[in-house]
Amino acid sequence: MVQKPGNHRPTASSRRDALRGLPAVGAALASRPFSPVVRRHGAPLATALLRESLADLRADAAAGRLSRAEVRRRATTAHLARDVDGRANALLAPAPRVVVNATGVVIHTNLGRAPLSGAAAAALAASARCYVDLEYDLSRGRRGSRMTHIEPLVERMFPGCAALVVNNNAAAIMVCLRALARGREVILSRGELVEIGDSFRVPEILSASGARLREVGTTNRTRLADYEAALSSRTGSILKVHTSNFRIVGYTQATSVEQLAGLARRAGVPLVVDWGSGDLVDLGPLGIHDELPAKTILDHGADLVTFSGDKLLGGPQAGFVVGRRELVEKIRRDPLARVCRPDRMLVGAVRATLASYLTGRAFEEVPTLRMLALEPGEIDRRARRVEREVARATGAGRLLARVDGVSRTGGGSSPAGERPTRLLAVEAPDGDAAGLERRLRDGDPPVVARVKDGRLLLDLRTVLPEQDAVLAARLAAALGAERSRPRARRVRR
């Protein structure tokens, strides 16, 4: 048992005695208990971890945190071998880990945003271990461009436009502004000086691109005349940013893309629109009305539109720049475009994702869209199956209920993006819903869910259908563990 400092105060000499019992590194590694550990993890790593383990033990002993008997027990080669094995396993375990997302937040940035379609995952895996014709024109036997794998598809979705794909949308905006407005001014409404999420702040990206911010209007109202007054020979571009994760209500006025496009054309400066989530299809049928398709933004007269690959689009992390050919060409030649170019796996996964849209099968094949399209009735049927399974396994059916709720699109997309859903609501047998949530998160695979009003809420909208069974098993185990826990432990808390 670890003792609190101060509980046990060995004298300096007794500490020295205890430490004298520690084995030498070489002798420990050569001992029988270490042989499988060295075989599994390799001698260099086992040696380094053993040194760390011994150093920790020495520090604990020196600080008086351990009794002499405890130091002796931990200093055995059997114990040290187990400790080193544990350290190595934690260090080498595959990560990031697969989790069950039962939060109902479809584009969950902390959980990796969009899960890929089967075709996109297969394309990614196929190119991972092989050489591919990434930049090689097989018909001519000479160097090609990696964009040739994506361009023909994008051109069909955005007729007359050229496209560039980079690593993410932040990079897409940065390379646009750098290529078009470095050393010049970018006119942007004060209502669009947004922070999208951890480390993405529009003004910072803008200044990192070398362009200068020219703020216009106010937080709640920016008129066309404000933009017009800011135009000068120093203007490099007009920028419009989708305020994707918040909404200003009340006395507001924003200037539309159409109005800005007219102004930009008259002034001869490009209009760049950061369209954030960049859906490729109309999501109106899903009740999402504030997310116009990216093509509509171009139809409204934007010269360039940028968007993410892994938000509503439902592909891998990527950033798209689509629009006027001569501008895209200019951006392509910027060194920053080279710095954030997509690798071969990304190219394959983007292409496969776009293919689902071209064939009109995005709502079946692309997981984010498939999840958003799920009707509450279907979610309820799946929740009922999980409920039955858990009730059967634990006898704790009275703790489970299905209730109405809302799922969210999330991920800095569509602040109003809520969809009606059916939740599986679970009461903890001891009333400790937070404890139940923690146990679900602790296990394998971890289940991420939320607690509200003393109940654990699971939304199966964002659970992959093939994870329903494991979700039921994890929930049953978490409830079972609670029931079988001795009462004495519980009342102490």
Question: Where along the sequence are the contacts to ligand PLP (CB under 6 A)?
Answer: 168-170, 196, 200, 241-242, 244, 274, 276-277, 308, 319, 412
Q: Quote the least distance from Cβ 278 to ligand PLP, whole Å.
A: 9
- Structure-token pair, residue 65: 């945190």
Neighbouring C-alpha atoms within 13 Å toward the C-beta of 232: 10
What whole-number distance in Å separates Cα of residue 138 and Cα of residue 126? 18
What whole-number distance in Å separates Cα of residue 389 and Cα of residue 472? 6
Q: Quote the least distance from Cβ 457 to ligand PLP, whole Å.
A: 26
Q: Which of 276, 214, 290 is nearest to 247 (CA)?
A: 290
Q: What is the CA radius of gyration of the chain?
A: 29
CB closer to ligand PLP out of 72 and 300: 300
31 vs 291, 450, 470, CA distance in Å? 64, 48, 40
CB closer to ligand PLP out of 57 and 181: 181
Cα four-point dihedral sign 152, 153, 157, 161: negative
CB closer to ligand PLP out of 242 and 439: 242
How are beta strands 455-459 and 450-452 bridged, if at all?
antiparallel
Look up residue 324 and give its amino acid.
R
Element (H, E) at 271: strand 271-274
CA–chain centroid gap for 314, Å, is 12
Q: Quote the least distance from Cβ 395 to ligand PLP, whole Å.
A: 46
The phi-psi region of residue 6 (left if phi > 0; otherwise alpha if psi is between -120 and 50; otherwise beta) is: left
CB closer to ligand PLP out of 135 and 418: 418
For residue 446, cis peptide bond before it (omega within 30 degrees of 0)? no
CB closer to ligand PLP out of 173 and 383: 173
Q: Quote the least distance from Cβ 416 to ligand PLP, whole Å.
A: 14
Q: Quote the least distance from Cβ 133 to ligand PLP, whole Å.
A: 27
DSSP, collapsed to helix, strand or coil, labels residue 304 as strand
- Structure-token pair, residue 293: 């398709």
Point out which residues pair with 323 in neighbouring strands.
Answer: 162, 304
Q: Quote the least distance from Cβ 393 to ligand PLP, whole Å.
A: 40
CB closer to ligand PLP out of 172 and 463: 172
Q: Quote the least distance from Cβ 271 to ligand PLP, whole Å.
A: 15
CB closer to ligand PLP out of 237 and 308: 308
CB closer to ligand PLP out of 312 and 386: 312
CB closer to ligand PLP out of 41 and 351: 351
Q: Are 412 and 435 in contact (CB under 8 A)?
A: no
Q: Which residue is at the shortest CB distance from ligand PLP?
A: 276
Q: Quote the least distance from Cβ 276 to ligand PLP, whole Å.
A: 3
Q: Which of 415, 449, 417, 419 is nearest to 434 (CA)?
A: 449
Looking at 359-406, list the stretches that DSSP marks H as alpha helix, in order from N- to C-terminal side. Answer: 362-365, 367-373, 376-394
Q: Quote the least distance from Cβ 71 to ligand PLP, whole Å.
A: 50
- As a dihedral over the C-alpha atoms of residue 301, residue 302, residue 303, residue 308, rounded to 10 degrees, the angle is -140
Q: Quote the least distance from Cβ 346 to ligand PLP, whole Å.
A: 12
- Structure-token pair, residue 156: 């069909």
Q: Quote the least distance from Cβ 315 to ligand PLP, whole Å.
A: 11
